[in-house]
Amino acid sequence: MRVLLVEDDPMVGAAVAQALRDAAYAVDWVQAGQRALQTLAIQAYGVVLLDLGLPERDGMEVLRHVRAQGQAVPVLVITARDTLDDRIRGLDAGADDYVLKPFAMGELLARMRAVIRRQGGVAGPVLSNGVLTLDPATKEVCWADQCCRLTGREFALLQALLLRPGAILSRSELEDRIYGWNEEVESNAVEFLIHALRKKLGSGAIQNIRGMGWMVEKDQ
Is 220 a member of any domain?
no
Residue 87 lies in a domain: yes
Over residues 1-34, the pLDDT tens digits come to 899 999 999 999 999 999 999 998 999 999 999 9
Are residue 61 and residue 142 in the same domain, yes or no?
A: no
Whether residue 110 is found in the same domain as residue 22: yes
The residues pairing with 149 across neighbouring beta strands, listed in sequence order, are 140
> Does residue 131 share a domain with residue 114?
no
Q: Are residues 56 and 144 in the same domain?
A: no
The answer for residues whose C-beta is within 8 angstroms of residue 136's C-beta and 6 or more apart is 113, 116, 125, 126, 127, 155, 159
Per-residue pLDDT of the chain (220 residues; tens, 9 = 90+): 899 999 999 999 999 999 999 998 999 999 999 999 999 999 999 999 999 999 999 999 999 999 999 999 999 999 998 889 989 999 999 999 999 999 999 999 999 998 888 776 665 678 888 888 999 888 999 887 788 999 999 999 999 999 888 999 999 999 988 888 877 777 789 999 999 999 998 888 899 998 899 999 887 5
> What does pTM read for this prediction?
0.82
Any residues with CB less than 8 A from the CB of 31 and at least 6 apart, and which? 6, 7, 8, 10, 13, 54, 55
The reply to whether 68 falls in a domain is: yes
